[in-house]
Amino acid sequence: MKAIALGLAIAALVLSCSQVNRPGGNHLDKMNEINLLWTQIRQFRAEAGMGLEPAATMLNEYRGKTVNDAKRVCADNHRVPKPCEDTCTLSGHICENAELICKIADELGEHDRAQEKCTSAKASCREAKQRCCNCSAKPPQIAPVDPTSPPVTP
């Protein structure tokens, strides 16, 4: 799963650099870029066990906020335990794509469709980061004791 997510993220970055930084990149190219990145976010959400779309309440909440606002969920000293690595890696990829989508949307100005994708991406980033932080906040699971095993003595 990590390899797939990493591959998709690298492909998105390469594609975004080639299209966004191209002088005179046209509107259609930029919308195609946004759609590609947004589709990857949906794939990442599916891999993380999330619904394909963020909740409507999240869309309303993050319409006027930045991607950095959406990322601010975990404490500054947040450490990711091993069982949460995949969840947190996917949340990072979702937020990276959100940053790229919103950058392109800003280049397009008040284009409604681009701004909708930006809002959706920010809400996805927030939900994914919450999932990461919630996973990390869970107390460690202790394996149940096998009643047939001999007691452990110190």
pLDDT tens-place string over residues 46-65: 999 999 999 898 899 998 89
Q: DSSP label at 153?
A: -
What separation in angstroms does the CA of 9 have from each of 6, 25, 68? 5, 21, 19
Phi, psi of 72 (to 5 degrees): -75, 85
In a domain, 149, yes or no: no
Say which residues have a Cβ less than 8 Å from residue 65's Cβ, sequence separation at least 6.
122
Residue 10 has pLDDT above 50, yes or no: yes
In a domain, 68, yes or no: yes
10-19, 23-32, 123-132, 141-150, range with greatest mean pLDDT: 123-132
Q: How far is CA 142 from CA 25, 136, 139, 145, in A?
A: 55, 15, 9, 9
What is the structure's pLDDT at 3?
A: 52
CA atoms of 26 and 30, how far apart (whole Å): 6
More confident residue, 109 or 77: 109
Q: By residue range, what is the domain housing residue 123?
A: 2-137
Domain annotation covers residue 39: yes
Written as six digits, the tokens of 154 are 């110190």
The domain tally of the chain equals 1
The answer to whether position 143 is within a domain reads no
pLDDT of 147 over the 60 cut: no
Q: Is residue 21 domain-resident?
A: yes
Is the pLDDT at 11 greater than 60? The verdict is no
The label of the residue with tokens 């947190």 reads 88
What is the pLDDT, as a whole number, of residue 117? 96
In a domain, 9, yes or no: yes
The rounded mean pLDDT for the chain is 81
Backbone angles phi, psi at 39, to 5 degrees: -65, -40
Q: Is the pLDDT of residue 154 over 80?
A: no
Q: Which two tokens stand for residue 56?
A: 């409507």
User: 106-110, 114-118, 128-132, 145-149: which has the minimum mean pLDDT?
Assistant: 145-149
Rounded average pLDDT over 4-18 = 51
